[in-house]
Amino acid sequence: MSFTPSSDILGFGRYHVGQAACFGCSRNRLAGTLPQSPSGVFRPCLVIESQYVGNLRKVFMSSTPVALITGSSRGIGRGIALELASLGYGVIVNYVQNEAAARETALAAEKLGTKVLVCQADVSDCDSRSRLVGQSLDFFGRLDVLVNNAGVPVADRVDLMDATEASWDRILNTNLKGPYFLSQLVAREMIRLKGSGIIEKGKIINVSSVSAYATSLNRGEYCVAKAGMSMMTKLFAVRLAEEGIQVFEIRPGVIESDMTAPVRAKYDRLIAKGLSPIRRWGMPSDVAKSVAAIVQDYLPFSTGEVINVDGGFHIRQL
């Protein structure tokens, strides 16, 4: 019999219950199939007596806070994952198709001394979301922070009058329905974990956009999804306050990432002309620092709050 939840926390590969020795893993080790961290580092196994499993599970599971960051293989999500890793969080690096990028993030996070689970899951898909949360809990045994960061831009920037239902479904499913129901799923687990004393409090952070209020006629569906995310933040903030779970919206402006790479020249020009009072591109680390402020409890009496990370873009001027 063996169990894997949070086995990474103390650096062991797997725990074995009630066995005198770990023969299975000796064989696996010879065959080279022992469970490994994303960096490929070998971890030995720990053999424990069955009567101590409950206590050990509790100790291992309660030692390190854990954050799930959707879409953390690249861009802003990667910046957030590394920031949280540097704060000592165990992190779940989620991606949808770019496994190589996810492994890069994981390796960088591990170098900061934290434990990492890499998990492929499409946030727009119900079964994927359940698997993502299930695997996260199996691995770490707890979940303290959810960052709903994964998002996609429109495939083609076309005028509002020519936008298609297919594009609407793709954008709304990934950028709004996914985070909405993932929040519901994770919040249920946080309430359960809090009830059993495994976590003290929970935090859900939604990465929206200035598009939540600024119109772009060539990507209306993206704007609608981000505006929906603002309302979603308020709804969950009110519902979860009594559960000790705070909910925040971070609204990035123009941030350097693969998403903005195709429109780099356009934004270079606009920024130079004063699009935002702070005349520079935002970086993923700018967004990550606002996440750090939230998870470190610098906003203890706030919920449903919007944090603009946009160089001052949101300020109206005369």
Ligand X SMILES: NC(=O)c1ccc[n+]([C@@H]2O[C@H](COP(=O)([O-])OP(=O)(O)OC[C@H]3O[C@@H](n4cnc5c(N)ncnc54)[C@H](OP(=O)(O)O)[C@@H]3O)[C@@H](O)[C@H]2O)c1
Spacing of C-alpha 219 from chain mean position: 24
The secondary element (H helix, E strand) that includes residue 117 is strand 116-120
Distance CA 313, CA 15 (A): 52
Cβ proximity to ligand X, 19 vs 308, nearer residue = 308
The verdict on 92 binding ligand X (CB under 6 A) reads: no
222 catalytically annotated: yes
Identify the CA nearest to 96 among candidates 65, 75, 66: 75
Q: Which helix (H) or strand (E) holds 136?
A: helix 126-140
How many CB atoms sit inside 10 A of residue 221's CB? 20
List 52, 95, 222, 267, catalytic entry: 222
Q: Which residue has the tokens 């696996």?
A: 28
Residue from 19, 28, 86, 98 in contact with ligand X (CB under 6 A) = 98
Please give the residues from 165 up to 194 whose contact with ligand X meets the rule CB under 6 A: 174
Contact flag: residue 260 with ligand X (CB under 6 A): yes
7 binds ligand X (CB under 6 A): no
Among 143, 150, 154, 176, which residue sits at the site for ligand X (rule: CB under 6 A)? 150
Based on the shown chain and the rule CB under 6 A, indicate whether residue 252 belongs to the binding site for ligand X: yes
Q: Determine which residue in the list 124, 135, 167, 290 makes contact with ligand X, applying CB under 6 A.
A: 124
For residue 267, the number of C-alpha atoms closer than 13 Å in the C-beta half-sphere is 17
Closest by alpha carbon to 282, among 306, 316, 299, 259?
259
Give the residue, chosen from 6, 73, 183, 233, that forms a contact with ligand X under the rule CB under 6 A: 73
Size of site (CB under 6 A) for ligand X: 31
Selected binder of ligand X within 137, 146, 255, 288 (CB under 6 A) = 255
Q: Among residues 7, 37, 94, 246, which is the contact residue for ligand X, using CB under 6 A?
A: 94
101 binds ligand X (CB under 6 A): yes
Counting contacts by CB under 6 A, is residue 207 touching ligand X? yes
- What number of CA atoms fall less than 13 Å from residue 1's CA on the CB side? 6
Give phi and psi for 305, each to the nearest 5. Answer: -75, 145
Q: Is position 151 an interface residue for ligand X (rule: CB under 6 A)?
A: yes
Taking 3-state DSSP, the helix, strand and coil percentages for the chain, each rounded to the nearest 5, stand at 45, 15, 40
Active site residues: 222
Binding-site ranges for ligand X (CB under 6 A): 70-77, 94-98, 101, 122-124, 149-152, 174, 207, 209, 252, 254-255, 257-260
